[in-house]
DNA sequence: TCTGAAATGTTTATGAC
DNA sequence: GTCATAAACATTTCAGA
């Protein structure tokens, strides 16, 4: 397979200037990528050509990254979501590289960040149930040494969006 | 506007039975929603009609939720991402309702979960910089009383995907 | 069930204003 | 920037194996 990697381009992205119409287009597309050009054009009050040109430019500028389908975790039987706080004693490059690889190759890791402060990493992990989380956890700590782990179990998803707040033009 | 809400249907979703072809289709669509029926059909080794029927059924069954465009936070100038751990002393219904509303109406809150354990809530907040986070924080605590807040600043996004792990058929 | 094709709609690109 | 147009391509429906 042509590796449709989840962690895209390490391009140093720098903020792009957008006008009101660009922002409107982006905010529509963020909510629903199936909207046709006609519908978008109508909603932003322009005709197809300029809207299409703007979308193409936004794609080229890297503002628009990709289009994805969002699935329902419950329908897939993924009823448990954990946030995992990790402290490590190891800070050498080799350890970090192995840890990163371990995270990237595990599909139940939906998100992973390196943090500032006394907690070193946070993960979001989506699994079937607590048992599946434990399997994940055991497998992870057997692969890389970790000093301290706290798992926070989500009881209820209050909000979850892929839509970013699009800053307004005043800057 | 027809309220393209980010928090979709409170349908109690129950796990759906999928075969190998369904899983392949879903995993392709999760990575790239722009794939044409032809391309998907080719990759799963079937022709268009059955693939199209399966996709329709997966949509009806609620496995497929929506199609969205993913934007680049850096390109939008949203360079700061915080995970916010919240403890509250208030546990009455009215407080919870106001808190939820406050979160849902703030676009910088990308994700919010109610947790089990001594931390009550976790938020993911995407903003321009630390100053913008502070504005968000001040505004939130002025709207609802919160006992204790810890903000974890992300230094590096190691992994971020919208793709869920699709469980295999053995169950 | 599937395959293959026809009808319909969308996207993408051009050229004129 | 708009509008109209057209070819290429995608989606959707449907007849027949």
pLDDT, tens digit, 9 for 90 and up, residues B13-30: 788 889 999 999 999 999
Question: Which chain A residues contact residue B160 at CB under 8 A?
Answer: 6-7, 110-112
A5: confidence class by pLDDT, cuts 50, 70, 90: very low
DSSP category for residue B17 = -
CB-nearest partner of A167 from B7, B65, B76: B76
Which CA-bearing residue is nearest the C1' of D2?
A: A47
Q: How many CB atoms lie within 10 A of CB A145?
A: 12
Q: Does residue A7 carry a pLDDT above 50?
A: no
Take residue B78 and report the two structure tokens written for it.
């949203």
How far A144 CA sits from the closest chain B CA (Å)? 16
Provide, rounded to the nearest whole percent, the portion of chain A with pLDDT above 70.
Answer: 92
Contact A68 B31 (CB under 8 A): yes
Q: Mean per-residue pLDDT for B145-150?
A: 96
Q: Does residue B7 carry a pLDDT above 80?
A: no
Work out if B83's Cβ lies within 7 angstroms of strand D. no
| Mean of all residue pLDDT scores within chain A | 91
DSSP category for residue B96 = H
C-beta separation of A115 from B80 below 8 A: no
Q: What is d(CA A72, CA B28) in angstroms, rounded to the nearest whole number? A: 15
- Return the residue matching tokens 């600043």: B153
B3: confidence class by pLDDT, cuts 50, 70, 90: very low
Q: What is d(CA A61, CA A13) in angstroms, rounded to the nearest whole number? A: 9
Q: How far apart are the first and last CA of chain B?
A: 43
A12: confidence class by pLDDT, cuts 50, 70, 90: low
Q: How many CB atoms lie within 10 A of CB B49?
A: 10
Q: What is d(CA A75, CA B12) in angstroms, rounded to the nearest whole number? A: 9
Residues 74-93 of A with CB under 8 A from B: 74-78, 81, 83
Q: Contacts of strand C, CB cut-off 7 Å?
A: A 36-38, 48-49, 52, 55-56; B 46-50, 53
Q: Mean per-residue pLDDT for A54-62?
A: 94
Contact A69 B73 (CB under 8 A): no
Query: Would you state the pLDDT for residue B170?
Result: 53
**Which H or E element spans position A14?**
none
């Amino acid at each position: 397979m042509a590796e449709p990697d989840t962690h895209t381009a390490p391009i140093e992205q720098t903020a792009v200037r957008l006008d009101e119409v660009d922002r409107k287009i982006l905010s529509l597309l963020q909510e629903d990528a199936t909207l046709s050009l006609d519908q978008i054009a109508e909603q932003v009050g322009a005709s197809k050509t300029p809207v299409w040109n703007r979308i193409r430019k936004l794609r080229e500028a890297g503002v628009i990254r990709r289009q994805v389908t969002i699935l329902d975790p419950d329908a897939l039987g993924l009823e448990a979501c954990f946030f995992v706080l990790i402290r490590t004693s190891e800070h050498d490059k080799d350890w970090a590289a192995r840890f990163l690889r371990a995270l990237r190759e595990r599909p139940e890791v939906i998100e992973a960040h390196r943090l500032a402060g006394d907690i070193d990493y946070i993960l979001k992990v989506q699994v079937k149930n607590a048992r599946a989380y434990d399997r994940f956890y055991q497998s992870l700590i057997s692969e890389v040494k970790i000093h301290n782990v706290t798992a926070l179990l989500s009881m209820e998803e209050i909000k979850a969006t892929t839509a970013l707040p699009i800053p307004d033009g005043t800057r």
